[in-house]
Amino acid sequence: MPAKRKIVKRTPGKAAKRKPAARPKKASKADGLFSVKKHISQGHILIAACDLELLGKKLEDGDLCIEIHESFYGGEKVGADILRRLLEMSTMANLVGTRAVELALDMGLVAEDCVIVIKGVPHAQCLMFC
């Protein structure tokens, strides 16, 4: 037996109103990108990286303050795969932002209890020993 169809009565002359389909949130150009700058001194490689959207911001929370300067963090715009490779070859890292710190946590470079949070933004520094 075929399923019964529901009959909808429409008022003559009026078209049925449809709700527009929900559009997915557009990803900003900063989604998933990092600003990374490599600093080399006395044979050591320091990688300064931040979530791209944090570049140029100042975060203050009580006694804690960090300025995410273009001169220190500003460099190449890269994805997670390139940042991971740079961190693997570095001897030090300074990281700001949820994605940057999460990547270092996933790599085992940073312990969770070594991450500080300033205005809701994670920050970590690490030294890699050979």
Separation between Cα atoms, residue 85 and residue 75, nearest integer Å: 16
pTM for this prediction: 0.75
Report all structural domains of the chain as residue ranges with CATH numbers, in order of start: 34-127 (3.30.1860.10)
Q: Give the DSSP letter of residue 113.
A: G
Q: How is the chain split among helix, strand and coil, in percent rounded to 5? A: 25, 30, 45
Separation between Cα atoms, residue 7 and residue 99, nearest integer Å: 51
Instruction: List pLDDT tens digits, range 60-81.
Output: 999 999 999 999 999 999 999 9
Instruction: List pLDDT tens digits, range 90-117.
Output: 999 999 999 999 999 999 999 999 999 9
Separation between Cα atoms, residue 82 and residue 78, nearest integer Å: 6
